[in-house]
Each structure stands twice: as structure tokens, then as C-alpha cells.
Structure 1
Amino acid sequence: MSTLQLLRDGHQGLARAACLLGGVVWGVYWIPLRAIDAVGISGAWATAVFHIVPAMLLLPLVWHRRAQLQTGGASLQAVGASLGLAMMLYSTAFLYTDVVHAVLLYYLTPIWSTLLARAWLKEQITRDRVVGIVLGLSGMLVILNIEQGFPWPRNIGDWMALGSGIVWAIAANLMRRYPEHSVPEVASMWFLWCSALAVIAALSLQGTTALPPPGILVSILPWLLPIVLLLVLPGYLAITWGTPQLNPGTVGLLFMTEISVGAVSAALLTEEAFGIREITGIVLISLAGLAEVLLPAARRLGRSGSADN
């Protein structure tokens, strides 16, 4: 099978790998966002800048495929708008709360995704997915220290993270429902909608007084452009290709690799806590992301062993 045919027809195993890769990329997503914030581009303006740069790089593609974008109609715009809103909320959440809370509150999304897929797409809720969700939630509660009470959102950043997970569940179900939209169209609309919504949020939350000076914008481009080209665009394209091929709940579980990467990178680069509790949570969450792969493999191995005997 040629590469082009593989990309066009899809592949379940590679789709899972693409979503795992997307989770890894998102696990370090907070680093350039906070770097942008540190130079004086604060709050939602940091999110806007972070997505406007790749959106501008994709403008030639948008122009080249303008006919396809027009024929995509309302469903393409719904996919792009929901992806853009989810990412805008999630990206901005990192700037108003700590990394671990932002990541973990977002990752209630496997629950929302699974329930919505069952209600709307009539997809079965498998036993393996339930096991994965239980493992993932257990890991989340361990890291959030449930002994101190249920981890209700504490600030606007926490609420943004929780809301982004719900909106992402809607986006994943829309992508599953309308798989006919190609990766370039979906990715382009994703960045454009996220940029527009981030600017609206920045104007609403911060006003024009916090508008980034042109000099600062130019100064960050030498390091931001390589990050966008080598990390952001490949990660988003992988997610855009892999997500429509899988159950939305499965996608949410695979993305949970971000929690491990985010917690470890936050511990290494900031003063955020990292100990036995966090390690235990990461192990549980990692198992959750792999549950739908490991459990069927274990059953096949068990059946093979029984047959040999």
C-alpha cells in the first residue's frame, strides 16, 4: 500500500499512533505558551499569537483549496469551530492555572466523548473502554489528591480546562460523523477558528491595552517559527488525520499520554510538585491510554496459550 493510499484510506494502528503522538506534542504545549507569556504577551493574547502564526503559514493552502473549503459547507465549519474553541480554551487555561490541573480537568473528555458517541453516533461502549476510563480517572484523582475533597475547579483557568474537554468531545464526535473532510481543510479551519476565537477572548478579557507591541511579536519569531513547523503543525495534522478513524472515547484515552508528558515536563521545568502520588497517577493514566490495545492483546495471548495446551 502506497503512502498516499494509506493516508487516504486510513489505518487503525497508525491512527492510534497519530493520536498518541498528538498527546505527546500537547504534553509540552504549555512551554512555548508560557514563554510567549513571559515576554509580555499575556493571557488570551498569547494563545492568539501562538495560533495566528501557523494560521498565516497555512494561508497559501487555504487559498489553493478554497473551492474544497466552500463545498465543505456548515459541517466543515462546525468541525473547525469546535476544534478551535476547544483549543482556545485549553491553551488559555495554562496561563490562568497550573499545568497539572489544566491537563487533568481537560482529560475528563473520554467520559464526555464516550457518552456523546453512544447517544449520537450509536457506538458501543466497550468493556475495554470502560476499564480505560476508570484507570484514567483513578490516575487523575490520585494526582489531584482526592483525599482533600473532590477537585472542583478553583479558578477561571480550571473552568476553561474543564470546558475545553467538553467542547473537544463535541469536536471529536463531529469529526467521526463527517469523515469526508480532508486533513488540510480541517487543519486550516482549526487554526483559523482558534485564532479568531482567541482574539475575541483576548479583547473581551484584556481589552486593547494588552495588545502585543509589534516589536515583541517580531522578537519571538526566530524561536516560535521552528516550534510551529517542527512540533505544532505535525502534531495537529497527526491528530486531524487519526481522530476521525477512531471512536471519540478511544481518542480521548490515547491523548492521555499528554498527562504523563505534561506532568514530567512541568516538574522538570517549574516548581510544581512531583512525587510518588504523581508517578502513581501517571502509571494509571498511561495504562488507561493503552487499555484498548493491551487488553485485547492479553486476551488473544491467553486464548493462544490455552489452545497450545
Structure 2
Amino acid sequence: MQSIKQSPGAANLTRLLPVFSLLLSATLWGLFWYPLRLLEQGGLSGLWSTLLIYLGTLPVLLYLLHGRYAEFRKAPWLLAGLALASGWCNVAFVLAVLDGNIVRVLLLFYLSPFWATLIGWWFLGERIHPGTLVVLALALGGAVIMLWRPQAGLPWPEGHADWLALTSGLSFAVANAFVRTAQACSMQTRTAVSWLGVTLVALLLIMVLRVPLGDAQQTVLLAAPLIGMLGISIMTLAVVYGVAHMPIHRSSIILLFEIVVGAVSAQLLTD
């Protein structure tokens, strides 16, 4: 039987689709700080915003997992690692953008290509190309300049927001590695597990730290789950698809576009 070959146009689209998917995700994540600030102004703290937003993904999560529960037995430890890494990544990111300077937080978060390249090379056996090394050197140099403490004579985070952004970026790289290695599970399962991880980490921190709900407005309490159902669903599916279809050092570099979006939006939407 003669095999069916893809046309050049279809082949190009197949190659470009992960790139477009990552650019879409980066754009939406670069704007994500703004609704978070609005929720905070409405009386909803960062941890409660995170919990309610990701609870809003529950209907989509259940739909994605329908008929796929057996996949949890295929790679349980990889999925558990994905849940924990995604959980801390998203919780720390939300807290960082609420507490710190948007551009600074994004720049520190996007040391993730540096972590991703090391993880991909060391654990996944991915090759490092010279062009990638140049980009990573620039990113690392920028981070050193930004974190430089003249008093100490070395680069060091200034406060909570810096630490949250750095650990969020590291967790993002780890989560991407789990997405790449858990190929025995469908993209839908990996996406649902990442959302579940965020929900559980946020809930655990609320319980341990005893964070009260406060006097949040009713419209805010309704808006947060809606952001999750629509925004988070699109952003996460886009990034999981892109990361699953290319080496993690490449996907992490494409996602740097979020810094551009975040910087421009912060300039336009803040005083």
C-alpha cells in the first residue's frame, strides 16, 4: 500500500503550529498579571485568587480526564512530579507578580531557559546548539546585572518577589521536563495534572498559613473561576502542546516573548 505523504504546506504548518501555540501562550501569560491585580484590588489575595482560578478549570479538567484515568498508572511518579512542579510554578508566579515589579519578575522567571537547557542536557540527553548558548549567556548576564548587590559584591535576590520569581522559573523548567518525559500519557492528562497540582498546592498553603478569604467582592469571587475556565485553559493547553512537540531549550526561548508582552503591557496599564 502506498503511504500518504504530507504536502509541503501541511508539513510547514505541522512544524510551525507548536511555535504559534507557544507565542499565544506567552502573550496571554504576559498579560495575566493585570487581571490578578484587579482581583487583588477587589479584595482577593494571591493564594485565594490562584485557588479559585484553578478551581474554575475543574469542568475542563474532568472533560480532559474522561476515559483516561488508567493513564495515571502508566507514569505515576512523573505525573506526581509534574503536579508538584506546576503547582509551585504557578502559585509562586502569581504571588511574585502581585508583590513585585512586573518586568523584574518576568526577567527573573525567564531564567527558566537556563534551567531548562541544563535539565534537557543532563537528564534528557538533548544537544545544546551554539545559538542557544549565546541566548542563554545574554539571559544569565542580564539576571546577574539585575540581581547584583554592591554591598555583598555578588548577585543576590532582594526580596520575596525575587525569590518567588526565581523558584517559579526553575519549577517551570522542571515541569516542562516532566511534560516531555511523560509521553506515555496523553496531552490532556498532562494538562489536567498540572492544573490539579496548582489547586492542591494553593489549597495546602492556604490551610498551613491560615490565609482568610477576606472581604472580596461577589463579582470578584465569580470572575476568578471564569478566568480559570477560559484563560488558564487556553494558556495551559497551548504551552503543553508546544513543549510536547519540541526540545525544552527551544520552547523556553520562544516563551521569552512573554517578557516583551509583560513590559509593554506594564508600561501601558500602570501609572
* 1:169-193 residue CA offsets vs partner (Å, 9 max, x unmatched): 1111122222232121111111111
Cα-to-partner distance string for 1:227-248 (whole Å, 9 max, x where unaligned): 4444321111011111022221
Match for residue 157 of structure 1 among 154, 158, 161: 161
Change (3 A) 1:150 1:107: farther
Among 80, 84, 89, the alignment partner of 2:83 is 80
Query: What aligned pairs does 1:55-134 form with structure 2 within 5 A after superposition?
Result: 55-134=58-137
1:204 and 1:134 map into 2 onto residues whose CA distance is 39
Give 1:211's aligned amino acid.
L
CA RMSD of aligned residues (A): 2.8
Contact residue 12 and residue 246 of structure 1 kept, 8 A:
no
Name whichever of 40-49 and 225-234 sits farther off. 225-234
Shift of 1:253: 0.7
Q: Which has the higher contact order (CA 8 A, sep 6+)?
A: 2
Taking the aligned partners of 2:161 and 2:116, their CA distance within structure 1 comes to 21
Cα deviation, residue 69, structure 1: 3.7
Bigger helix share: 1
Q: What's the CA shift for 1:80?
A: 2.7
Distance 2:154 2:97 in 1: 21
1:113-132 Cα offsets, whole Å, 9 max, x none, are 10111111111110111122
Following superposition, the deviation at residue 26 of structure 1 comes to 0.6
Aligned mate of 2:195, from 156, 173, 191: 191
The percentage of counterpart residues that share the same residue type is 28
Do the aligned partners of residues 67 and 180 (structure 1) sit closer, same or farther apart at CA in structure 2, a change above 3 Å counting? Answer: closer
Question: 1:139 deviation in Å?
Answer: 5.7
CA shift digits 1:268-302 (9 cap, x unpaired): 1113xxxxxxxxxxxxxxxxxxxxxxxxxxxxxxx
- Looking at structure 1, the residues matched to 124 and 147 of structure 2 have their Cα atoms a distance apart, in angstroms, of 35
1:26 equivalenced with 2:29 (yes/no)? yes
Is the deviation greater in 187-196 or in 129-138?
129-138
Work out which of the residue numbers 18, 24, 28 in structure 2 matches 1:15: 18
Aligned 8 A contact 1:94 1:157 in 2: yes
For the structure 1 residues 229 and 49, does the alpha-carbon distance in structure 2 shift closer, same or farther, using more than 3 Å as the test? closer
Distance (whole Å) between structure 2 residues aligned to residue 72 and residue 268 of structure 1 = 44
Q: How far off its partner does 1:220 sit? A: 2.7
Distance 1:231 1:60 in 2: 16
- 2:48 pairs with 1:45: yes
Q: Match of 1:161, as an amino acid?
A: A
SS where residue 179 of structure 1 aligns?
coil
Aligned twin of 2:235: 235
Q: Secondary structure at the match of 1:125?
A: coil
Matches within 5 A, 1:151-230: 152-205=156-209, 207-208=210-211, 210-212=212-214, 216=217, 218-220=218-220, 223-224=223-224, 227-230=227-230
Distance of 1:11 and 1:135 partners within structure 2: 30
Cα displacement string for residues 81-104 of structure 1 (whole angstroms, at most 9, x for unaligned residues): 222221121122112212112111
Judged with a 3 Å threshold, the aligned counterparts in structure 2 of structure 1 residues 120 and 230 are, in CA distance, closer, same or farther, namely same
Query: Are the aligned partners of 1:43 and 1:202 in contact in 2 as well (CA < 8 Å)?
Result: no
Per the TM alignment, residue 57 of structure 1 is displaced from its structure 2 partner at its CA by 4.1
Q: With structure 1 as the length reference, what TM-score do the two structures score?
A: 0.74
- Where has structure 1 moved over 6 Å in runs of 4 or more? 145-150
**Aligned residue for 1:261?**
261
Q: When the two structures are aligned, how many residues end up with a matched partner?
A: 260
C-alpha separation between the residues in 2 aligned to 1:17 and 1:150?
38
What amino acid sits opposite 1:189 in the alignment? V
Structure 1, unmatched stretches of 5+, are 272-309
Q: Which moved more, 1:219-228 or 1:180-189?
A: 219-228
The structure-2 alpha-carbon separation of the partners of 1:44 and 1:58, relative to structure 1 and needing over 3 Å to count, comes to: same
**Which residue of structure 1 lines up, in the alignment, with residue 252 of structure 2?**
252
Q: Write the deviation string for residues 240-272 of structure 1: whole angstroms up to 9, x where unpaired.
A: 11102222111211110000000111111113x
